[in-house]
Structures are given as structure tokens and as C-alpha cells.
């Protein structure tokens, strides 16, 4: 199993499997980076409506191709039908949201349920047709590469490459619109056209990924990578880059794992790998990760106990809290017999002086720049200038000694 997986990762599991892996990686890059624009625009659920709206197009395209004597399973024809259907779904969402009093989420829910229900009805009818029994259209729900032909893999790889190229070409105006639509409009960018370009990109990724991931799971390729990337950085350009990397890595590893174990479905494996990367990021991301948040909370807690302990030393009060005592002992501010060291007395005097400085500063400078930054932990030297502090010290007199 491990050997087969390594062969698949190194593109040695066969030409068709290698092409599927490359196509899945390109699709993941396009889905992750393209989905970032909707993520920043807070319109991620539009991709869900787009995905579910493709199903009627798949069924109608199959019927039309069979009616004209063609192969109803031709991937290009099925993708063309799903693209038309998805486009109609997007137009329906836009029309309902702009022409009625319904909010966009209600429009998405209505379009999603109606189109998906209509698609299921069409698939049921197709199953009763003599030519539709072996059509395998149910693979478009969850994705499947088991019966994928060489030309199907070429279509997916080429479509993924074109979607990646589109992101590279239009990333700057789409980023500006996604981040600040009003500023983009003031800069001369046609916001509506860029919105349509974002929707078109999402629709393209959705349609291309139908055979590989399925319409139910393709939404995950558009949402999970941007959500993962947002945990790692605050900068928009880096979110797009990291989302593309996460999506590409998920697609590539999922396709390789599916190729090494034919019994495992490709689409769910891709989504699960993406979710695993998201979970790891949620735990270990340095800025927004859970462990980083716990570390910041612990550091803040220790700083609070240090401050309270020093103030207690300065005022001659007894200290009973075990954590406060541990902090003072660890920093050499207090001996084991609860007597302050020279270092502790100096730190306590400085802490008491800063408390008096802050009290007078908030009276003298009654604005948010000063009073809003007082939390008992922020050094006053980072807020006021030396001359301002010197004036405060002149008013409050000499510092009190700590016994």
C-alpha cells in the first residue's frame, strides 16, 4: 500500500493516474485561490448553489446527446450542459437577490434546493431509459475516477490549467474588489464585471471538478483552502497563495491515494485531506491557531500575576496566590521566605511609579490614545514621550521607596 502510494506520488502509477493527479492538483490550486475571492467577499455559499445547479445540466445534456445518437457519457458534452445549468443558477441567485426583498442566503437556498431536486428527478428518469442504466451519472454526485477515460483526464487537466492561468491574470483586480469594492470602483475597476469574473471562475472550477470530486464535495475545494490560509496570514496576497497551495496539495495527494487504493473514492479523499490540513492549521497556525491562542492567554495571565505580585510587594501586602508566588520566585523577585530581593524591590518601585504615572496621565490626556491603551501591562514609555513622562514625574514627586 505504501509503495503504491509513493509510486502514485512520483507519478509512476500509470499515465492515466499521473494525468488525474496533475489535473486534481491544478483543479485544487484553481479552486483554492479562486475560492479566496468569494471568501473575502463573504459569498462562499454562492459556490454551493453553483455546484448543486449543475446537476440538471448533466441530466439534460445526457438526454440530448442520446437523442441525437451520440454517446451520452461524453465528458465535454456533460460539462457543457452542467456549465449552462450552473450559469442559469447563478443568474437566478443574482436576480432573486437584486429584484426581490429576499436576502442572498435565502436566494441561494431556494436555487440550490430547486435545481438539485430537479436534477435528481432527471437522473431517476434517465435510470429508466435503456441507454441510461449504465450511464454512471451518479458519479457526478460524489466524483469517481474509476471509469475515467484518458480524454476525460485530459479535459480535467486542461481545464484546471486554464483556471489557474485565469487566476494569475486577473488576481489583482479581483483581489481589490474582494477586499474593498468601493475603493476598487473609485480606482476605475468595473466591480460588477469583476464579480461576474469571480462567479465565472467558481463556476468553471465547479464544472471541471464534477467528475473528479462531485458536485456535493466540490464546494469543499472552494471553501476549505481559503479558510485554512486565513489562519496563517493577514495579507490578502498570501491568503491567495497559501489557499492555492493547500488546494493543490489536497488534490494531488487525494488523487495519488485514490490511485494506490482503487477502492477509495477520489473526491471524499481529497476533501478529507484538505480537512486534515485545516485541522492542523487550526491547531498550529502561529497567529490564529488554538495553541497560539492558549500560549498568548497563558503569557497574559503570567504578566497579570507578575503585576499584581509587584504591586503587593510595593504596598507591603501578603501574597497567597500560588501562581503569583511562582512567577515572582522564578524571576528572582522574591526569596523563598517571601521577602523581596533587591531586584524585586526595584521592580516593585517601578511598577508602583508607573501606576501613579498612568493615573495622572489619564487625567491630563483624556483621549483614546492614552486612556484607551491603559491595561496595567502596557509600558507607559511606549505611549508617552520622555518629556511628557518627565512632566508627570515632576507633578507626582519622587518615587516611594519599597521596604
Please give the backbone phi and psi of residue 358, each rounded to the nearest 5 degrees, phi first. Answer: -65, -40
pLDDT in tens, the chain (403 residues): 676 666 666 666 676 778 788 888 888 888 898 888 888 888 778 888 888 888 899 889 888 888 887 777 777 888 889 889 988 988 888 888 888 888 888 888 888 899 989 988 988 888 777 665 555 676 777 666 655 667 777 777 888 888 888 888 888 888 888 877 888 888 888 888 888 888 888 888 888 888 778 777 888 888 999 999 999 998 888 898 999 999 999 989 988 888 787 677 778 888 999 999 999 999 999 888 999 999 999 999 999 999 999 988 888 888 889 999 999 999 898 888 888 898 988 888 888 888 888 888 888 877 666 666 677 787 888 888 888 888 888 888 766 555 5
Please give the backbone phi and psi of residue 340, each rounded to the nearest 5 degrees, phi first. Answer: -70, 140
Buried b (16+ CB within 10 A) or exposed e, 47-86: bbbbbbbbbbbbbbbbbebbeeeeebbbbebbbbbbbbbb
Buried b (16+ CB within 10 A) or exposed e, 241-266: bbbbbbbbbbbbbbbbbbbbeeeebb
How large is the C-alpha radius of gyration of the chain?
Answer: 30
Secondary structure (3-state) at 334: strand
Q: What is the pLDDT of residue 8?
A: 63
Q: What is the pLDDT of residue 4?
A: 66
Q: What is the pLDDT of residue 226?
A: 92
All cell numbers assigned to 381: 514609555
Q: What is the pLDDT of residue 294?
A: 94
Write out the DSSP string of 153-214.
HHHHHHHHHHHHHHHHHHHHHHHHHHH-HHHHHHTT--HHHHHHHHHHHHHHHHHHTTTTT-
All cell numbers assigned to 215: 458536485
8-state DSSP, 335: -
Q: Are 174 and 163 in contact (CB under 8 A)?
A: no
Q: What is the pLDDT of residue 145?
A: 64
Q: What is the pLDDT of residue 212?
A: 78
- Taking the C-alpha atoms of residue 51 and residue 53, their distance in angstroms, rounded to an integer, is 5
Farthest-apart Cα atoms in the chain, separation: 100
Q: What is the pLDDT of residue 296?
A: 92
Q: What is the pLDDT of residue 382?
A: 80
8-state DSSP, 339: P
Q: What is the pLDDT of residue 291?
A: 94
Picking from 260, 187, 226, the residue whose alpha carbon sits closest to that of residue 44 is: 226
8-state DSSP, 280: H
Assessment of whether the complete model's pTM goes beyond 0.85: no
Q: What is the pLDDT of residue 302?
A: 92
Q: What is the pLDDT of residue 188?
A: 85
Q: What is the pLDDT of residue 186?
A: 85
- The DSSP bridge partners found for residue 334 are 340
Residue written as grid cell 492561468: 165
Q: Are 174 and 236 in contact (CB under 8 A)?
A: no
Q: What is the pLDDT of residue 189?
A: 86
- Taking the C-alpha atoms of residue 298 and residue 325, their distance in angstroms, rounded to an integer, is 16
Q: What is the pLDDT of residue 278?
A: 96
Q: What is the pLDDT of residue 46?
A: 82
Amino acid at each position: 500500500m505504501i509503495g503504491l502510494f509513493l509510486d502514485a506520488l512520483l507519478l509512476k502509477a500509470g499515465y492515466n493516474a499521473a494525468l488525474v493527479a496533475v489535473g486534481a492538483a491544478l483543479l485544487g490550486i484553481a479552486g483554492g485561490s479562486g475560492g479566496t475571492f468569494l471568501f473575502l467577499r463573504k459569498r462562499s455559499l454562492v459556490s454551493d448553489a453553483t455546484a448543486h445547479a449543475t446537476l440538471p445540466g448533466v441530466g439534460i445534456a445526457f438526454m440530448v446527446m442520446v437523442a441525437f445518437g451520440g454517446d451520452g457519457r461524453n465528458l465535454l458534452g456533460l460539462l457543457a450542459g452542467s456549465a449552462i445549468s450552473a450559469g442559469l443558477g447563478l443568474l437566478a441567485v443574482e436576480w432573486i437577490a437584486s429584484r426581490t426583498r429576499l436576502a442572498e442566503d435565502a436566494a441561494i437556498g431556494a436555487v440550490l434546493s430547486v435545481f438539485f431536486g430537479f436534477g435528481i428527478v432527471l437522473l431517476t428518469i434517465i435510470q429508466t431509459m435503456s441507454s441510461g442504466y449504465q450511464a454512471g451519472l451518479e458519479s457526478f454526485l460524489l466524483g469517481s475516477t474509476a471509469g475515467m477515460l484518458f480524454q476525460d483526464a485530459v479535459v480535467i487537466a486542461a481545464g484546471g490549467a486554464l483556471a489557474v492561468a485565469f487566476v494569475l491574470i486577473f488576481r489583482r483586480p479581483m483581489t481589490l474588489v474582494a477586499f474593498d469594492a468601493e475603493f476598487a470602483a473609485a480606482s476605475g475597476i468595473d466591480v460588477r464585471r469583476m464579480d461576474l469574473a469571480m462567479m465565472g471562475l467558481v463556476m468553471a472550477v465547479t464544472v471541471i471538478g464534477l467528475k473528479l470530486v462531485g458536485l456535493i464535495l466540490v464546494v469543499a475545494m472552494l471553501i476549505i483552502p481559503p479558510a485554512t490560509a486565513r489562519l496563517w496570514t493577514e495579507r490578502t496576497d498570501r491568503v491567495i497563495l497559501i489557499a492555492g497551495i493547500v488546494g493543490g496539495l489536497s488534490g494531488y495527494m487525494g488523487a495519488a491515494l485514490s490511485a494506490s487504493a482503487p477502492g477509495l473514492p477520489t473526491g471524499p479523499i481529497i476533501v478529507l485531506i484538505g480537512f486534515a490540513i485545516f485541522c492542523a492549521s487550526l491547531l498550529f497556525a502561529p497567529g490564529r491557531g488554538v495553541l497560539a491562542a492558549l500560549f498568548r492567554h497563558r503569557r497574559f495571565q503570567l504578566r497579570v500575576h507578575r503585576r499584581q505580585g509587584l504591586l503587593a510587594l510595593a504596598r507591603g501586602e501578603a501574597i497567597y496566590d500560588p501562581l503569583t508566588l511562582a512567577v515572582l520566585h522564578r524571576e528572582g523577585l522574591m526569596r523563598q521566605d517571601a521577602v523581596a530581593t533587591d531586584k524585586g524591590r526595584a521592580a516593585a518601585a517601578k511598577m508602583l511609579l508607573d501606576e501613579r504615572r498612568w493615573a495622572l496621565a489619564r487625567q491630563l490626556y483624556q483621549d483614546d490614545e492614552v486612556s484607551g491603551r491603559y491595561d496595567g501591562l502596557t509600558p507607559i514609555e511606549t505611549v508617552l514621550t520622555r518629556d511628557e513622562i518627565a512632566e508627570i514625574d515632576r507633578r507626582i514627586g519622587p518615587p516611594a521607596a519599597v521596604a
